[in-house]
Each structure stands twice: as C-alpha cells, then as structure tokens.
Structure 1
Amino acid sequence: MPISARRAAIAALTVVATAVAGCSSVRTHPDAKGSAHSGAPGPSSSSSGPGGSIPVGPGPQPAYTVQPQPSPGSCHVRHTAGKQPLPDAKCTPGATNPKVTAATLKTTICRSGYTKGIRPPVNITSREKKANAASYAYTGPLHDAEYDHLISLQLGGDPNDPRNLWVEPPSPGHRPGAGPNNPKDVVENRLKAAICSGKTDLTKAQEAIAHDWTTAEAVLGLKQ
C-alpha cells in the first residue's frame, strides 16, 4: 500500500476510535446523573418563615395527636443575665402558625377568642410535657413548670408543633409548689397589642420573642 494511502487509513481509524469513545462517554453520563440524583437528600420537612429563620408548623388541627419529643437529655436550658430560662435553640427554635399572616390578623390573633379555639387539649399536652421534661432533663415538679409555647398562640405560634413547645422552668423568685410564675406572659400580651394596633410587624415580633423574650420589646423599639 502506498505511504499516502496508509496514512489516510490510519487517520480514518483514529477518527472512528475517537467517535466511539465519545459515544461511550455520552451513554454513561445519564447513569452517573441518575445515581447522583437518587443519593441526594429529599426536600426538608420544615420550611422557613417569612424571615427565613423560624420554621412554619402544620397549623391548627381538627384533632391533635401527641407529638414526639427530642431524645432524653438532648436539650439544654440557657439563661439570660437575669437568670431567666430560655430554651435550647436546636430543640426549640419556635414554629409559626401558617394561618396567621399580616393579611389575616383581623380574623385570627386580633379576633377575640381565636386562641381558645386552636389550643390543644390537656390530655395531649400533658403527655408531651412529661416527655419534653425528659428531653430537657428537668427534674423539678412538673406543676411548677409551664409547657410553654415559645411563640405564643396570640403571636401566631403553632399550636402543637414540638419545635414551639418546651417545659419552661420557673423564673427567679418562684415559690416551690406555687405553680408557674412566668413573666413572659406579660410581654406576650403587650406584643400582641402592638401587633394588632400596627405598632410593630408580626414577623419581627415572632423573631424577637423566639430569640429572647426578655429583650423582645427593646429590640422592637417598644420598651419605654
């Protein structure tokens, strides 16, 4: 075979080999993509609130069920400089009620009697409270601790999302056996009034109370 013909044949074989390799690469690509997809985590079970930091709960239910709690001893109480107890942000970040938005205030939290109609019954929360006490390693009398909504119902907190409820130990000055003494309730009442009168924003109030109820009013510019 002439040298020129031999060179042409070699060049042709090189082109064919390159094309075959390219086809093999293309054929294996979908499989690799499929494997990566199947191993990827699915969508998160929790979504973020309007501020991007507070989970959104399932909202009011026609019939509540006992919710699972964090494993025993996995949650740790924090304290403010004034010794007020705060929850573990990993266990209890708060959760909002999706039915309560800036557009629905008049028919939800700013309507008299709204929270009474969405509150879980005691036969549900009493069992959750006992389990959550173990989560926080709380060993005091349950009667003296409040099973507290971190974001209260009147501020648009979710009624029974376990991320929004915790066994809140007594505040300083508590008399043993006297039941909960929770000065947080007073702050919640004032924040609700501020929301319903337009003095503060719903989402900002929720974020402030979830972070630290003792500083919430100051953060929102409501502290006199």
Structure 2
Amino acid sequence: MKAHKGLAVALLVVGLIAGCSKEEAKHPANAPAQEVGPQPAPKEKAGTIPVGPGPQGTYTVAAQPAPGSCHYRYTSDKQPLPDSNCTPGATNPKVSAANLADTICKSGYTTSIRPNTTITNPEKAANIKSYGYNGDPRDAEYDHLISLELGGDPNDPRNIWVEPPSPGHQNGNGPNNPKDGVESKLHTLVCSGKVALLDAQVAIATDWTTALAKVGFPS
C-alpha cells in the first residue's frame, strides 16, 4: 500500500514539473517585455468647439467647403451669422487660460501668427463660392469667427468665413462689421480677468450679436 502511495506521489510531482516546464516555455521568465508603441492622443475639444492645428511656421492654402454647401443665417435685425456646420469655430491650442499674458494679452501676438494675404486671398475666393456670396468681395471680410485676440485658430477653415457687410452698409466702402467691436470688448474682458477665455470663445462662436450679453456684459 505504501509503495502504491509513493508511486502516486512521484507521478504527481513529475506531472507538476512537466506542466511548469511547458508554461515556462510559453512565457520564459527572462523574456523581454513586449513593447507597446505610442498611442494616439484623443482629439481635444475646448467645450463644444473644435481645436485647430494652431499657428504654423509656414501656412498653406486651406481647402474650403464645397461651393454652395454653406448658408448664411441672419438675426432678426439682419446681422449675418455663419453656417454652424461649415464654420463652428476652432480654437488655437497654443492659447489657454494659464498663458494669456504670453499669448493673446501680449502686444503683437496676433500679428505674429496671422497668415499673410498670399494665403488668405485664395482662401477667401474659395469661401465666397462655399457661401454663395454675391456681393462685392471688397465689402466682405474674411473673418475669424473666434478672433485671434480671443484664441481663435489662425487658419483652420472651420474658423474663417466670408462675412457679409452689416445692414446700412454702402456698397464699395469696404467691410463694415460691428462684430469687430464685440471682439475687442471681449478681449478686454478676458485679459482683465472678468470673463473666462472659454466662455468668451463659446459666446462669440455661438452668436456674435449676443456674445456680450451671454458673458454678463451687455453693451
């Protein structure tokens, strides 16, 4: 009886050793760890606003939406608004609430990141077709929906549109857009710490005519 027990124990030990050897063969203790390549970062969003590529050392002419695919909206007093599908706005990833003093609140910053007319002129011509604008091109501003001074992306087509002149404009007199004044006031409020950067960006991207009221400073 003892002999049988001894034989059974011996067989069990041999089986365990064999099993361990097989596992070691599959997963050697000294095998190098498998390297995992870098994973793509999730696409950033600033609230509900897309984030653009940011300032570039050399800009290239950006493709615009297809001709006739964008449609102006108008407020009750006939102020123009962009098509929110074509032009939802896009922010500059280099600008944040933490670095305002070194970016949009620093004199000369927006000039340093603005694309020149060799880029914006052909983009404007294509965007005129996107929106079907049929007025004098000289009276329409190729406008950053979220202005550069509010941390808008310099050349993302989602942030630029051909803005028609406002009511009362005289043909041939060049752009006449009260939106510019709203942008300047918001910039002052952001840089003085009275309005959060993201709040100003969302307000101007949603409806520039109500942006100041939306952030609590109606004109």
Deviation at 1:47, TM superposition (A): 3.8
Q: Aligned residues, how many?
A: 180
Asked if 1:48 corresponds to 2:45, the answer is yes
Question: Does residue 1:149 correspond to 2:149, yes or no?
Answer: no
Could you tell me how far 1:162 is from its partner in structure 2? Answer: 0.2
Distance between the aligned counterparts of 2:78 and 2:59, measured in 1? 34
Verify: 1:128 aligned to 2:123, yes or no.
yes
Q: Whose radius of gyration is greater, 1 or 2?
A: 2
Offset at residue 190 of structure 1 (A): 0.5
Distance 1:79 1:110 in 2: 31
Indicate the residue corresponding to 2:207 in structure 1.
212
SS in 1 for 2:125: helix
Deviation per CA, 1:39-69, whole angstroms, max 9, x where unpaired? Answer: xxxx8996421x1x10000000000000000
> % of aligned pairs identical?
66
Q: 1:70 is paired with a residue of what secondary structure?
A: coil
Distance 1:162 1:46 in 2: 17
- Give structure 2 stretches of 5+ with no counterpart: 1-39
Taking structure 2 as the reference length, the TM-score comes to 0.80
Letter in 2 for 1:176: N
Residues in 1 aligned to 2:138 and 2:186: alpha-carbon distance in whole angstroms: 27
Q: What is the DSSP-based 3-state SS (H/G/I as helix, E as strand, rest coil) of the residue aligned with 1:143? A: helix
Give the alignment of 1:1-224 within 5 angstroms: 47-49=44-46, 51=47, 53-224=48-219
* 1:139 Cα deviation after fit: 1.3
- What is the aligned-residue RMSD (CA, Å)? 1.4
Which amino acid is the alignment partner of residue 113 of structure 1? G
Secondary structure, aligned partner of 1:167: strand
1:54–1:81 CA distance, 2 compared to 1 (3 A)? same
Q: C-alpha distance in 2, partners of 1:115/1:57? A: 16
Displacement of 1:116 after TM fit? 0.4
Instruction: Flag the 1:105–1:44 CA change in 2: closer, same or farther, 3 A.
Output: closer
Task: Show structure 1 runs of 5+ residues with no match.
Answer: 1-42
Quote the Cα distance in structure 2 between the aligned partners of 1:47 and 1:109: 20
Change (3 A) 1:46 1:139: farther
Distance 1:83 1:203, change over 3 A: same
Q: Give the 3 Å change call, closer, same or farther, for CA 168–95 of structure 1 in structure 2.
A: same
Secondary structure at 1:166's aligned position in 2? strand
Q: TM-score, normalised by structure 1?
A: 0.78
Instruction: Output the amino acid matched with 1:216.
Output: A
Distance 1:64 1:45 in 2: 24
